[in-house]
Amino acid sequence: MFKSLKITCDEATAICDKNQYGEASLKELVKLNIHFIRCRICAVYTKQNMKLSKLYKGYSKGCKSINHCMSLEDKDALRKALEESK
């Protein structure tokens, strides 16, 4: 019965990534937590992965309000530089 709950480290990281986006099923989460009991490396990986995701989400919220487009003057200067290099 418990053999069906054993997973490899590769499977654990895949479930961790799925869990990060809310796509992991309850059965997968149980398997992942059982794996954490015997594998501290995967537990640390998951913790670091979640921390990085939170940092990125926080950064991306502030980044959305910034306009990342080039100005028309910059576009013209780039176009002229490309034409001169031909």
Residue 38: pLDDT over 80: yes
Q: Where are the domains of the chain?
A: 2-85
pLDDT band per the 50, 70, 90 thresholds, residue 26? very high
pLDDT band per the 50, 70, 90 thresholds, residue 21? confident
86 or 18, which is more confident: 18
Residue 1: pLDDT over 70: no
The pLDDT of residue 85 is: 83
Are 58 and 45 in contact by the 8 Å Cβ rule? The answer is: no
Residue 12: pLDDT over 70: yes
**What's the CA gap between 22 and 20, in Å, rounded?**
6
Residue 15: pLDDT over 80: yes
> How far are the Cα atoms of 5, 15, 16, 63 from residue 52, in angstroms, in the given order?
28, 17, 13, 16
